[in-house]
Structure 1
């Protein structure tokens, strides 16, 4: 009888414990508080923290949509909701989680804040063109401040995939083709989003994606398979991911692709071996949209239960949208197929993120409508968006210095993107207003130039059409102009996710309109908006100037005007190689030399070399390329010594850069290295340093770089990450074809 009484008493105490809502106790350490929460959770409660669904009406990128998120939230079976924005909506949802569930654990709200929340900045590939790490970090800071003010805690960015293929639409979301530049930008964006303390109300959780290799899908087709060596994975693909681990990124996201026959979401090698054991990462891992259920069509799981098991075994900790964890994980734990301590580890990481955000302390601390109104799209942010947009535009061509334009010139402004507000903010533009708050090029011209603007307009054509109805109007106004500015490009839906293309020429009949305008003999400036490097060989041969504006964001029209009229001297450099044609893709500057390198001379000795018979090997524009309204001269490249010892030694590299033109201007000075002989083949060049520097007209500055053995490391024949002794060439210049060269030897 005593045993029965004690048992009943024990059960009563347990029930009471479970019945009590979580109460924040500031006297407890973070670990102690999470222990306290975990001790009150059933296995169903724990699994609930690992479940994420979308809010109604949010962007969806797949077919499986379960609209029962309110029901699951009330049942305590939801740890996170994404696509819910504004303080009004997020507060209502948070009240359900906190006040209507047994434990009252708050939700994390996530959203795709890729290049701005409401103040939209240039697309990430455009920002990468700035090579300005401070500006990129500031862009992420502003995005975080607006996002947090809107009641959202977490962004699914940065995307740090290294990509060589502009047919893949999501190159727009990354930093381009180079591992070194990509790593620096990844750190800047994590620091911008997360700040110094996640408890601060102007910061949000970052999410590094997509782990790993997603950008290297075969044929540039989104979601496609990836076949790369482990050495290539570690040398080219993984360093930006590792950089975000070192920067403290709070979460990671899986990629849709497979590598070596194993989809990322089921890869123990990626998540258990590399991310956890090698890198000691302690943040949590979320899948991409429905990625667990996609293990079934991948052919690695027979049903959703098996897909659940394989993803959990790999180390996946939050399920976005597939319902796999919600419906199958408790059963797998109870059957002993998944150990509960695996679930506990995952849940602790998720709870830790909520703790760091201060959500246990005050679940509604992000739900301040007054702060939201005062923060979003404030003037300071808009001014900075304008400046960052200017810094992101690449001047590809400027024959006879036709740019900058003079306000005294009569300018015919022609093209489908002149008055556009929809496309100018680009793809994945979060809550950006495409119809009212974005500045079109036409609005920018009129605002900057004022009442005395000598500009006329004709649309000429649409972005994707074969109709020529508007050609004649465009030709008529062009006849009466001194110069033609054609504003053309892709629509925003032609880049981004699920937007791979085999043809990346200027779409529709825009090129045909340019051909008609060309017949007038007037100088033509082509302003291009796109989310990828397009194939613009004809345009380069026939236009007098080309300004690549990418999608410049909310303030894009003002920023483009600033550049066209010399209010800002362009300084951006290409973060991806521009191919002459799709037949050259994939093309990137740091390729291997091959056993039969082509030297560029078509003669009998060069026939059996690695070359095309119908095209040069060289790109249209190389990596790191971009012009200015001024010119720069490089000279006096020096190394402070010719030998560097392996270990902790270093070499100082100096070069003089003189502004030899008529304008003050910024130059991105770039340093490349070539390892001449390795235990495995090495790239012809690798970026190992850059500095963006302002140099006044007539001024000379000495730029100094520091090289260490760490900069020379790669995965050798034995898959060891080492710097091998041997000879190295150093190149410094204005792009990846930098001609100045010096040499040194690394000795053990």
Structure 2
């Protein structure tokens, strides 16, 4: 459609194509054009029937068409059935496992729990909304990173200075969090309004404010003055320079990056998209000023996407990627900083050095993107992450040096915890197809996370089946196993320096 990908001439044609290729539900307004399509004979009842049947079947299975008294969750209590100690403990476990430690110069981490004074800086440290990201539920309580640090280091003096908002011109309070009950009330309100009216309201802050006031009795502040950055951060530095360590909690939030965020426009951000992937310049300057105090600086980075940090690498001693860590995020971060939890998360994306390493944003070709096609040297590669101990990989063996197409092969090796702290290692298996210019540089085909006690080793075993050696074949327009020479790469990240290789032939 015009203004979008422009593959189809109009909404009706695009909607029919989506329908005929299996789409049941569209989260937008294009499918409204199907009414016109049915009237004009472009879309038939027979085209619609299987999709409608599946959508209704889903609602029947969920009990949405049953009387309320017949539903099993009619008496469900959030505190008793959802926000339980068991669920919170699992939430914490998952959050801890997602933490990725990327840098730890001079073993500045973990922090001694009896350290005298800690300075916590950054708006993300005290922002529970940031921790929830977007497309999320609403927890009963969110532990902020600041709260987590205060609780963990109860014997220390912990001071907090906001320092800076994420970007200059930042408008506070641009998002509103609703409780589950409020979400239900608003959902019923939207049911009585056509999709077009709803879209118009969502795009207009004044109309949204009116709806929230009339329907939920919630006041949304209007005409908020953009936050103005200070000329310098001398005041911040004066307040934290006497601390024994500085923890800067910065990065992004869901007010800056997201989906179709019309009207959001700051340096480096446009409508939810990133026009450059560097850390906002204000935060870079603050980090530099904090480092110039001569005190160790720990950067806790909150983000939902890759940040290019080459220009900031000298401004912090340790870098912990906490992502948007959810309701138990504060406790998880504090557990890592204190050493009560030894991090073992790995990057699920590539952290490039700078925006200049990437092709143009509007170029959809994969060349030069992701670890599979990027030939440069990233700042932190896909699959990378360190911990408070070290691991040594032994020599691997293959169950066969040559196999037939469709057969499997086993890869086995030992990993030793060569440090002094118990930890977990994430062993990764990549496959590289040789002598094929159209194949990716390498593909992650398997990984396994295992706990290894200090001084001990664990045996890792992987089975690589047919799908591990399947690549796109233009002749069949599908994935297929191609005969030829392959390399089986194993190690701790996608970087070549972290991998060892084995040769394999497929006949």
TM range (shorter): 0.7 to 0.9
Which residue in the other structure is 1:590 paired with?
372
* Contact 2:351–2:378 under 8 Å retained in 1: yes
1:352 equivalent to 2:352? Answer: no
2:158 to 455, 480, 485: 455
Which residue in the other structure is 1:645 paired with?
404
Which residue in the other structure is 2:137 paired with?
430
Distance 1:709 1:481, change over 3 A: same
Q: Which of the pair has more CA radius of gyration?
A: 1
1:701 equivalent to 2:461? Answer: no
Counterpart secondary structure, 1:346 = helix
Which residue in the other structure is 1:92 paired with?
none
Q: Please state how far the C-alpha of 1:332 moved relative to its aligned partner.
A: 5.2
Distance 1:423 1:637, change over 3 A: same
| Distance across 2 between alignment mates of 1:551 and 1:717 | 40
* Contact 1:424–1:554 under 8 Å retained in 2: yes
| Distance across 1 between alignment mates of 2:455 and 2:27 | 56
| Distance across 2 between alignment mates of 1:474 and 1:569 | 31
Which residue in the other structure is 1:716 paired with?
473
2:483 to 721, 725, 734: 725
Matches within 5 A, 1:541-552: 541-552=314-325
| Distance across 2 between alignment mates of 1:485 and 1:224 | 47
| Distance across 2 between alignment mates of 1:520 and 1:560 | 24
Q: CA-to-partner distance for each residue in 1:394-434, whole Å, 9 max, x for gaps? A: 1010011110000122322222222222212222333357x
Distance 1:568 1:328, change over 3 A: closer
Q: Which runs of 5+ in 2 are unaligned?
A: 169-227, 261-271, 360-368
* Contact 2:124–2:249 under 8 Å retained in 1: yes
Matches within 5 A, 1:202-601: 258=5, 262=7, 300-301=9-10, 312=19, 316-318=23-25, 320=27, 322=29, 325=32, 329=35, 333=38, 336-359=41-64, 364-365=70-71, 368-409=74-115, 410-432=117-139, 437-450=141-154, 452-465=155-168, 467-468=229-230, 471-498=233-260, 499-586=272-359, 587-591=369-373
Distance 1:318 1:490, change over 3 A: closer
1:744 equivalent to 2:450? Answer: no
Distance 1:744 1:310, change over 3 A: closer
* Contact 1:506–1:536 under 8 Å retained in 2: yes
1:620 equivalent to 2:379? Answer: yes
Q: Which runs of 5+ in 1 are unaligned?
A: 1-222, 226-256, 264-299, 594-616
| Distance across 2 between alignment mates of 1:420 and 1:344 | 47
Distance 1:224 1:627, change over 3 A: farther
Distance 1:339 1:489, change over 3 A: closer
Which residue in the other structure is 1:244 paired with?
none
Distance 1:511 1:317, change over 3 A: closer
Q: CA-to-partner distance for each residue in 1:604-624, whole Å, 9 max, x for gaps? A: xxxxxxxxxxxxx20111100
Distance 1:453 1:534, change over 3 A: same
TM-score scaled to structure 2, two decimals? 0.77
Q: CA-to-partner distance for each residue in 1:247-286, whole Å, 9 max, x for gaps? A: xxxxxxxxxx64xx535xxxxxxxxxxxxxxxxxxxxxxx
| Distance across 1 between alignment mates of 2:250 and 2:104 | 17
* Contact 1:646–1:746 under 8 Å retained in 2: yes
| Distance across 2 between alignment mates of 1:317 and 1:675 | 37
| Distance across 1 between alignment mates of 2:2 and 2:157 | 50
| Distance across 2 between alignment mates of 1:740 and 1:307 | 47
Distance 1:625 1:375, change over 3 A: same
Which residue in the other structure is 1:90 paired with?
none
Counterpart secondary structure, 1:422 = helix
* Contact 1:441–1:560 under 8 Å retained in 2: yes
Q: Please state how far the C-alpha of 1:667 moved relative to its aligned partner.
A: 0.9
Which residue in the other structure is 2:444 paired with?
687
Distance 1:574 1:458, change over 3 A: same
| Distance across 1 between alignment mates of 2:125 and 2:275 | 26
Counterpart secondary structure, 2:460 = strand
Q: Please state how far the C-alpha of 1:348 moved relative to its aligned partner.
A: 1.9
Alignment RMSD: 2.7
| Distance across 2 between alignment mates of 1:579 and 1:356 | 45
Counterpart secondary structure, 1:262 = coil
| Distance across 1 between alignment mates of 2:292 and 2:490 | 41
| Distance across 1 between alignment mates of 2:133 and 2:34 | 39
Matches within 5 A, 1:69-148: none
